[in-house]
């Protein structure tokens, strides 16, 4: 309550002067009555102090001038009513020696103190208002992203608070106005803005703006400009971080596809899509350099509809025209083109049809040689693809890695296929040489011995017995040789296919073999040979190492793939690295594009499964003359 009363008394705006005169007169009258009343009940030594209350009130509320006037009136009333002789302005002694000088001196001091308190209160209130104004201006100027847009509301707030209409804050330097004043706002010698003061602004307001408000405005504008620049830098940094994050995510996706070893067409289309999305391009093409032209192997366009592409896969584009692909081929570096209007030819015709205005190409280098080019196209007239050459390099390197990996895989597969084919051919040649060479000679030798045995005279029974024993031994050698040749390349596989061949393997196995063989058509010879030798090797391993009691063999078709499964109930623990021949089987199966899997936990037996895709039309094997001779051959 006391603080509220003080605030009311010391308020900045003074009440009307007439109200002050009336208040002073009323105070003097009330003080005179109070002093007359108190004079009757007590001594009058302190009665002069009563008149000082009105002086204090008027000085605080209306200032020093009216306070001094009230002091003069109070002195007259004090002299008239309270100094002897009473009710008179004269005194028995000289007035200088009366209490009146003391009263005047004390009243003057009180009036001065009250006026000073009022002045200080006004200054404090001005400072508070200026601080509030600076805080509000800071709220407006420092929380905006566009400083130009924040200046009008800041100008209106400044005008309303200072009571000076049409004040205006500007950033640019403006010439001195005829009816006003342009107050420059500088910070460390650099102009940060201008405060335009229109004509008619009171001089105290002008002085207040120049002396006290200008430094705050300068600091605020400088901070606002710095914040605006910081916001721009941060926004640019955020955009750059988002762009880098998008690029890294796209690169990770492409790298994952490369690691998975997907087909080249799928990879190229995926890279084209990622590149087009990142660069906001209209069309993207990945092409391979061929003699005289480039061939499109992957493409993407926002105009693509279903399987129809704006840049068809396999389409060829000439290199003897002015184009990005020919420029990249000539220089081996990224190239850019921004004008197709004056060009002629197949590429220029396509570009004009699609509305292409600019293109950027980056070379694809595989193993140090220029393999192809990736090109992004834009149909807008504005400059596009800033830094596109550098951003494309990461993707072209991944494409080059994928191409190099694909070539390495193709060369490895071809090498493995050649090794397997050479081994099969060697096996067939050995089997043929045994059949046509040693086996036929032994058969002939056996016939000759039979003839000699038949010509021995009856009395020579001992010689006849020896010849008969030799013929029997020779017959055993022929049987062993025939069995050996059948193991090298069984005739039953060539004549009957996989099912009869697997049945023969099961009959010859030292362990019981349970067969579950579906009807399988005749397949390419290399597939049948691979499956046969995989089963033969697996059965041999079971007999030698597994300590099993039974083997289960399953064969059948699953869609477009042939599946073979061999399971046993042995010790398990089979491993590629133990020299069990499994590596050779895996190489043979993978040469055909198949997959061989082994599950062999210790104590839980071994399960071997083979899946081979059948991509060729099944063939019908007709027994050859050599096969018939081989089956008819005998001692």
Residue 585 lies in a domain: yes
Beta strands 181-187 and 283-290 are: unpaired
Last residue of a domain, one of 123, 143, 162: 123
Cα(177)–Cα(196) distance, integer angstroms = 8
Give the structural domain span for 79: 2-123
Lowest-confidence region among 337-341, 448-452, 496-500, 576-580: 576-580
Mean pLDDT of the region 377-385: 67
Percentage with pLDDT > 90 across the chain = 1
Does the pLDDT of residue 625 top 50, yes or no? no
Residue 333 DSSP code: S
Lowest-confidence region among 22-26, 139-143, 434-438, 622-626: 622-626
pLDDT digits (tens, 9 = 90+) for 71-84: 888 888 877 777 66
Output the pLDDT for position 635.
31
pLDDT digits (tens, 9 = 90+) for 86-98: 556 654 444 444 5
Residue 556 lies in a domain: yes
Output the pLDDT for position 96.
44
Output the pLDDT for position 581.
64
Tokens coding 252: 């990770």
Residue 612: C-alpha distances to residues 35, 423, 565, 587, 601 (Å): 127, 20, 12, 12, 24
Number of domains in the chain: 2
pLDDT digits (tens, 9 = 90+) for 587-617: 778 777 788 888 877 878 888 889 988 864 4
Cα(351)–Cα(342) distance, integer angstroms = 11
For residues 254 and 99, the model is more confident at: 254
Residue 282 lies in a domain: no
Last residue of a domain, one of 73, 94, 123: 123
Residue 268 lies in a domain: no
For residues 580 and 229, the model is more confident at: 229
- CATH label of the domain that carries residue 515: 3.30.565.10
| Three-class DSSP category at 311 | coil
Cα(349)–Cα(212) distance, integer angstroms = 70
Residue 30 lies in a domain: yes
Does the pLDDT of residue 622 top 80, yes or no? no
Q: Are 224 and 142 in contact (CB under 8 A)?
A: yes
Q: Are 464 and 418 in contact (CB under 8 A)?
A: no
pLDDT digits (tens, 9 = 90+) for 9-25: 555 566 787 888 888 88
Tokens coding 176: 């001195």
Last residue of a domain, one of 100, 123, 146: 123
Q: What is the mean pLDDT of the chain?
A: 76
Lowest-confidence region among 164-178, 196-210, 271-285: 164-178
pLDDT digits (tens, 9 = 90+) for 102-136: 677 777 887 788 777 777 777 777 778 778 888 88
Q: In what order do the strands lie in the sheet with 358-366?
A: 316-318, 293-301, 283-290, 369-378, 358-366, 335-337
Does the pLDDT of residue 305 top 70, yes or no? no
CA-nearest of 10, 84, 23 to 55 is: 23
| Residue bearing tokens 């002069």 | 48
All residues at 6 or more sequence positions from 337 whose CB lies less than 8 Å from its CB, including other chains: 323, 324, 327, 358, 359, 360
Tokens coding 85: 């002789």
pLDDT digits (tens, 9 = 90+) for 528-562: 888 888 888 888 888 888 788 888 999 988 888 88
CA-nearest of 447, 429, 491 to 629 is: 491
Residue 94 lies in a domain: yes
All residues at 6 or more sequence positions from 423 whose CB lies less than 8 Å from its CB, including other chains: none
Does the pLDDT of residue 483 top 60, yes or no? no
CA-nearest of 89, 80, 25, 35 to 55 is: 25
Cα(400)–Cα(219) distance, integer angstroms = 57
For residues 48 and 485, the model is more confident at: 48
State the CB neighbour count (10 A cutoff) for residue 483: 10
Cα(175)–Cα(173) distance, integer angstroms = 7
Residue 312 lies in a domain: no
Output the pLDDT for position 295.
92
Cα(374)–Cα(207) distance, integer angstroms = 69
Percentage with pLDDT > 70 across the chain = 76
Cα(323)–Cα(308) distance, integer angstroms = 24
Mean pLDDT of the region 386-414: 70
Residue 567 DSSP code: E
Residue 424 lies in a domain: no
């Amino acid at each position: 309550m006391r603080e509220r009363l003080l605030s009311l008394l010391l308020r900045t705006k003074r009440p009307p002067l007439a109200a002050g005169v009336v208040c002073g007169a009323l105070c003097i009258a009330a003080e005179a009555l109070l002093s007359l009343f108190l004079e009757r009940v007590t001594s009058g030594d302190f009665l002069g102090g009563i008149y000082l209350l009105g002086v204090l009130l008027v000085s605080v509320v209306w200032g020093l001038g009216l306070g001094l006037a009230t002091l003069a009136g109070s002195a007259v009333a004090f002299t008239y009513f309270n100094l002897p002789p009473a009710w008179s302005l004269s005194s028995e002694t000289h007035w200088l020696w009366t209490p009146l000088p003391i009263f005047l001196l004390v009243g003057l001091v009180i009036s001065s103190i009250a006026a000073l308190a009022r002045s200080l209160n006004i200054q404090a209130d001005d400072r508070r208002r200026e601080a509030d104004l600076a805080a509000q201006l800071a709220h407006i100027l420092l929380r905006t992203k566009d400083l130009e847009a924040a200046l009008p509301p800041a100008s209106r707030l400044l005008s309303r608070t200072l009571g000076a209409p049409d004040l205006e804050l500007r950033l640019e330097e403006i010439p001195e106005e005829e009816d006003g004043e342009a107050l420059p706002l500088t910070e460390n010698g650099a102009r940060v803005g201008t405060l335009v003061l229109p004509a008619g602004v009171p001089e105290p307001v002008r002085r207040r703006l120049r002396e006290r408000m200008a430094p705050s405005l300068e600091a605020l504008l400088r901070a606002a400009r710095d914040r605006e620049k910081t916001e721009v830098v941060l926004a640019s940094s955020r955009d750059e971080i988002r762009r880098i994050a998008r690029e890294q995510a796209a690169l990770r996706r492409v790298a994952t596809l490369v690691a998975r070893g997907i087909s080249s067409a799928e990879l190229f289309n995926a890279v084209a899509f990622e590149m087009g999305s990142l660069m906001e391009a209209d069309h993207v093409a990945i092409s391979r350099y061929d003699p005289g032209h480039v061939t499109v192997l992957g493409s993407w366009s926002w105009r693509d509809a279903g399987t129809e592409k704006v840049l068809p896969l396999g389409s060829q584009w000439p290199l003897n025209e002015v184009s990005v692909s020919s420029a990249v081929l000539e220089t081996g570096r990224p190239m850019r083109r921004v004008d197709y209007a004056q060009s002629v030819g197949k590429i220029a015709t396509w570009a004009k049809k699609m509305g292409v205005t600019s293109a950027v190409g980056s070379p694809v280098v595989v193993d140090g040689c220029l393999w192809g080019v990736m090109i992004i196209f834009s149909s807008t007239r504005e400059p596009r693809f800033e830094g596109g050459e550098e951003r494309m390099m990461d993707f072209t390197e991944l494409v080059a890695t994928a191409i190099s990996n694909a070539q390495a895989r193709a060369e490895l597969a071809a090498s493995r296929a050649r090794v397997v084919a050479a081994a099969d051919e060697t096996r067939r040649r050995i089997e043929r040489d045994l059949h046509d060479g040693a086996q036929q000679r032994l058969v002939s030798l056996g016939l000759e011995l039979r003839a000699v045995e038949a010509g021995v005279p009856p009395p020579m029974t001992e010689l006849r017995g020896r010849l008969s024993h030799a013929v029997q031994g020779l017959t055993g050698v022929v049987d062993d040789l025939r069995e050996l040749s059948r193991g090298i390349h069984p005739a039953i596989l060539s004549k009957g296919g996989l099912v009869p061949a697997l049945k023969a393997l099961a009959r010859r196995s030292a362990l019981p073999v349970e067969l579950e063989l579906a009807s399988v058509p005749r397949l390419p010879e290399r597939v049948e040979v691979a499956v046969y030798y995989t089963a033969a090797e697996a059965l041999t391993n079971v007999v030698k190492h597994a300590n099993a009691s039974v083997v289960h063999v399953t064969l059948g078709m699953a869609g477009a793939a042939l599946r073979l499964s061999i399971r046993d109930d042995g010790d398990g623990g089979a491993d590629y690295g133990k020299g069990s021949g499994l590596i050779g089987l895996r190489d043979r199966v993978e040469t055909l594009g198949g997959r061989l899997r082994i599950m062999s936990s210790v104590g839980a037996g071994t399960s071997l499964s083979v899946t081979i895709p059948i991509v060729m039309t099944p063939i019908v094997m007709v027994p050859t003359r050599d096969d018939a001779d081989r089956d008819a051959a005998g001692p």
